Every structure is written in structure tokens, then in C-alpha cells.
Structure 1
Amino acid sequence: MKHKILNLSPDSYQANFIHTQERDWAETNCYVDIWIELLHALKKDPRAALSYTLAIDFEGDQWTFFKFPLNDLKDLYGLDVQELAVWRPVVDHVEEQVALGRPVLVELDSFFLPDTVGMAYQLAHVKSTVAVTAIDKQEKRLGYFHGQSYYELSGDDFDKVFHLDRDYDDAILPPYVEIVKIRKGYEPSDSKMLEIVKQQLIGQLNWLPLQNPFTEYQKRLQADLDWLMSEDMQMFHDYSFATLRQLGACYELSTHFIDWLIENGETSLDGIRAEFKSISELAKVYQFQLARAMSRKKQLDLSTIEKMAEHWDKAMSGLKAKYLQ
């Protein structure tokens, strides 16, 4: 391609092990998944930046849509993420920024992303964030991270994803776009990296929910059950994505964060890791139970939420005892 930041090919790209090992949750959310792969491709370990997964909360009708805090990425990896003002065609912004060596995170329509074949490609208009690292506007080719790997699109998909196949339409709002400015030579030592991570961890522990979030979630789910049992399975997918999948995938990432701490010399964390893993596993099983209950229009046992609450209490108590003394 004319402009590329990394020398990658979809055929040979090897995804980060978070996305290749046996997992409870194959995907997290589009923003987190592309950052895992972008960091991996930049030769940086994404697990070091996962302390933010500890402080998610139940937000009334959904769990926190968790994301990497941008300041954490700057402190750990020297990556300065800035919002881009879109004042000309999006494709022109993407081309210029990639030519400057800056990955571009841009919202695109999955209807034109061939890596979503069988899910959204040519089937449904779904907004999703990708990280573009290669582009050739003349040849109509785009290289991007999405989901769990690196992909390319070309031809008609290129035209349609950037709305080049139609005249300007002010009803099509510009997407949210971020650029990633890479600070060359920014490589903290292992000891400095651990120090930064521990400070970020302490910051997250100081912002834990004041009450066990599973208690509030159980109340809301109890209130929603009669309504849910009258809905179709599409509502199950929407409801589950905002609740069980978010919390389950997030706390599974918490186990990877604990693994990084252990690998970097932190001790007495195995039990805490097991608590987060239990939440992830229970959420996955409970998602199936919710689907079965909605399909059969039967009531759902809420005791599993109470078990998750117990695991949360034990994990957070252990972390606070170790790092907030």
C-alpha cells in the first residue's frame, strides 16, 4: 500500500494471545479489542494497561462500557491519543494521518467490513471502531485492526465505507475519529513500568463502586424479568451485550491484568485471580440460562448473581488489603 505504518498481512498476522487462547468471552467490545491488537502489533503488552477493568460499575440499565483510559496509554507506552476534527472527507484525514505514521481510530459501518461476514457484512448497518494502519486511496485499499485480528478491504467496500460512491449528504454525520501519536524512544524500564502500573492500580482501587455493583444489578434484573420474558431473542442479545457480556468479558481481562502483575514479581495474587475468573465463568453460564429462560418463557434463578457478588467482594477486599495499606 502507498501508506502503511506496520508491515502486516492478514494472511500472516498473529493475533495477541488474549485473542487466541481458550477464553470464556471471544470478544470484549470493538474499542478494547482493537487496542489489544494495535498494542500487540506495536510490540507492547496490552495486559499492563488493564487495571481499569477493576473499577467498572452497574450503570442503572447496563454495565460500564469499559475502555482503555487514554492517559494510561500515554504513561505506559508513550501513545498520545487525540480526537481529530473532521472538516473534510474522512478518507482524506485517514490518508494524511497514516502517512504521518499515526494509526487512525475511526467509526465505520460494519455493513462494508468484510471481516464481519456472516454477522453484519452486507446484512446490517452496525457502527464499529477500527484502527487503520495502512491505506492506498488510489488503489482503494485499507488495512485495519478490527475485532480480534488485522484485515484488509478494497474496491467497492472502500468506496462505500467512506461514502465515496455518492454525492455529499449532510444527513450522514461524520464519525468520531482519533489519532495515535507514537512517541519514539519511549521505553520505560521493567521496574519503571511496574511502578506506573501499580500507581494506576491504586487509582482504580480508589474509584471502586461504593457498593457492590452486583447487588444493584440483581435488583434491576429482578425488575426486568417479566418484561424480558415477553420479548424476542433479539432483545436477549441486546440486553445480554449490555450486561452479562460486558461484565463477564471485563473481569476476564482482569485475570490477564493479574497475570501480568504476577509475571512481574507481585505475590499473593493467585486467589484474587481465581475470584475474577469465577465471575467471568459464571457470567458466561448465566448468559445461556437467561437465553433459555427467555426462549421458554420461564423464570430465572437469581442466586448466580449473589455468587458473583461474593467473588467481587473477595477480590476487591484482597486487592485493597495489598495495595491500599
Structure 2
Amino acid sequence: MNTPSPAEAVGAQGAAVAPAASVESIGPVAVPAFEPAPRALVREAGRHALHQGERVWLETNCYVDLWIELLHDFGLDPRAALGFTVLQAFEGDQFTFPKFLLDDLATLYGVQAQELAIYDTLERQVLEQTRRGHVVIVEVDAFYLPDTRATSYRQTHSKTTIGIKRIDTGARQMEYFHNAGYFTLSGEDYDYLFRLASELAGNPHVLFPYAEFVKRNRPALSDASLADASASLLAMHLSRRPNSNPIGEWRAAFKEHVHAVLNRDVSYFHLYSFNVMRQLGANFELLSKYLGWLRERGFEIPDSLAKDAQHIASESMVMQFRLARARMRARPDFCDDCLDGLEASYERVMTPLAALFS
């Protein structure tokens, strides 16, 4: 799930990523010529506040953004579940991929996500779950998603994750969450997405996708109970945060990374920036929003902590631009001043935050 589709990598920053190899099939499937469907955005004004307003990183990754809008669609505030952001570490060649923790979602909202075993047609099994009021989260090929018209749609095969809320098998229509939006598709896109087209149906080289179904088991917490439970989860996550400053660990590897970016093609730069700068920056921008949410609910958290988390978000974007410029000029830029600021901001966030919630 951590390979971005081109649509993800473009986001609000406009830096398209190279096509990733599809995990949907052994090789690309030939698609007959046809009239492309319009980009069908069902609703935009109702997006959650995390996907509106002044943001450095308007989107994070397909999984986080989908869950933000799905929880919002349930009438829930996803900010209460953002405590996972303090867990991010440096993993040698990338930062931990931000994801909502399923146990947190169950505790705060009474929402449960379980793996959906696919043994029949994907269409039949999605229909069964949506008829029960569940949402199906599934990995698909962005090649068939009209909302990726500017990047992947009918252009490149790449893996992404969507949340299917309803389908109409007779009309061959589907409504789904993807990134920060809610869309509809139909016709040939429907046939290929559900593997009903003759090239895909019964093809032994086309593997079943990974899928989950989301159901609501009990009422969500609210008001003070929600805030208190969220704070308790944050305290637990802080006790499991990285033992050392992940920015410092990144710094130790960064010179090698810079040389790799300069010596490889532009697609590698886009993939690197998505998995490193964007995941770091977007993660800490979410942490900044979360700390503001806690402050609004009476927790005495210094405003400086949210500002330092936001500084990590903005400085990560600066590093992305500087690395792009370095590549264009074929001249290394090791961004020492940016890394100094990032390391210091991380300490100014995590050390006092851990003390407050110990």
C-alpha cells in the first residue's frame, strides 16, 4: 500500500510520480479504445477540514486520506485518532508510512475493519458487504479510476486504495472514496475494476486483491469521553515513540540518498520525495492539527508544540524543492540548514509532549 499512484504523488504539490508496476496482474491488460468517462466528483464542499484550507500538504497518502473522509462521512471527527503520528520513525530508506491504527478506530469510534476474503468475484463480495451497510476498502489499479484523469487514468497501471460505499450491479455503477474525494464510475471502468471484462475474468494471472470491510459495531465516543480516550491513546503511543531522533537518522543517510537522486531518472526522485519528504511533512502537519484539537478540548499543551510540528511540515516541503533543484542542476545540496531545523523542531515537539502525557 506504500507505492503511490501518480494521483497521490501529484496531490496539491503538482509533482507527478512515475508509473509504478501494477500488482493487479502479471502484465498490463490491453484495453479497447473507448470514450473516457468524465471525472465524476460526487461532492467536494463536504470534505473534512483536514482536506481544506491552508495546508502545506493537502494530502498524505491514499490510506490516511481515505479514512479521513470515511470517518467524516460517518459523522465522526478523524482528528481524535491522529495520535499515531508520534510513532513515525526513519526506516533506512523511507519514513514510516502514516496509517490510522485499527485498534484506535475501534476504541474511539466503535469502527471495526476486518480482512475480506475474496474467493468469488470481487463484484459479488463487495455487493454483499455494501448491502450490509459496510464499506469495502480494496487495492485497485488507478488505470480504471476516472478521478485520476490527470495522471493515471487510461495512461499508467499503478496500485492505489479506495473505499467502496455502494454499487449498482444492474447499472454498472460504483461510488467510492479515493484520496480526499468521493467519486462515481461506471461502464467499462466498472467492468475492468471488478475484473468482469473478458480479458480479466477467469485469467489465472490476475491475483485477488487485498480487501477489508469496515463496519460500525457500537456507538462512537463523544465530547469529553472521546477527548479523554484520545489522550490516553496518545500517552500509550508516546511511550512507544522512536528511541532516537528519526531526523538525525535520516541525516546520516541523506548524502547517499542525494547522490542516488542525482544519478537516477526523474521518476526515482518523485518516488523518493513521496516516501520520504511527503510522508514526514504530512505526518507532522497532521500532528499539528491534532495538538490544536486537544488544546480546543482543554488540554494544556503549549501552542509552540503545534508550531514546531507545522515547521517540520513546511521545512520538508522546502527540502523537496531544494532536492528537485539540485537534480536539475546536477549539483548536490545536502540541506544541512534544513536538517538542523528539522532535528531541533522534532526535539521541541516530542520531549515536552512526552513529559505532558507521561
Identify the TM-score tier after normalising by the shorter chain. Answer: over 0.9
Match of 1:259 in 2: 292
Picking from 127, 135, 154, the partner of 2:167 is 135
Q: CA deviation at 1:12?
A: 6.2
Three-state SS of the structure 2 residue aligned to 1:229 is helix
Which amino acid letter does the alignment assign opposite residue 260 of structure 1?
Answer: W
* Residue 144 of structure 2 corresponds to residue 112 of structure 1: yes
Q: CA deviation at 1:301?
A: 3.1
Which amino acid letter does the alignment assign opposite residue 46 of structure 1?
Answer: P
Match of 1:57 in 2: 89
Match of 2:334 in 1: 301
Which amino acid letter does the alignment assign opposite residue 175 of structure 2?
Answer: G
**2:60/2:282 contact within 8 Å kept:** yes
RMSD over aligned CA atoms reads: 1.2
Q: After alignment, is 295-304 or 58-67 more displaced? A: 295-304
Match of 2:306 in 1: 273
**1:110/1:121 contact within 8 Å kept:** yes
Alignment identity in percent? 37
Q: CA deviation at 1:302?
A: 2.7
How does the TM-score come out when normalised to structure 2?
Answer: 0.86
Q: 1:202 to 1:282 in 2, by over 3 A?
A: same
Picking from 113, 118, 122, the partner of 1:90 is 122
Q: CA deviation at 1:11?
A: 4.3
Q: CA deviation at 1:181?
A: 1.2
Picking from 147, 153, 168, the partner of 2:185 is 153
**2:137/2:211 contact within 8 Å kept:** yes
- Aligned residue-pair number: 315
**Long gaps (5+) in structure 2:** 1-40
Which amino acid letter does the alignment assign opposite residue 30 of structure 1?
Answer: C
Q: Where do 1:67-216 residues align within 5 Å?
A: 67-166=99-198, 167-184=201-218, 186-216=219-249
Q: CA deviation at 1:323?
A: 1.0
Three-state SS of the structure 2 residue aligned to 1:128 is strand
Three-state SS of the structure 1 residue aligned to 2:196 is coil
Which amino acid letter does the alignment assign opposite residue 280 of structure 1?
Answer: A
Match of 2:280 in 1: 247
Q: CA deviation at 1:224?
A: 2.2
How does the TM-score come out when normalised to structure 1?
Answer: 0.94
Question: In 2, Cα distance between the equivalents of 1:31 and 1:58?
Answer: 19
Question: In 1, Cα distance between the equivalents of 2:260 and 2:292?
Answer: 40
**1:233/1:291 contact within 8 Å kept:** no
Q: CA deviation at 1:234?
A: 1.1
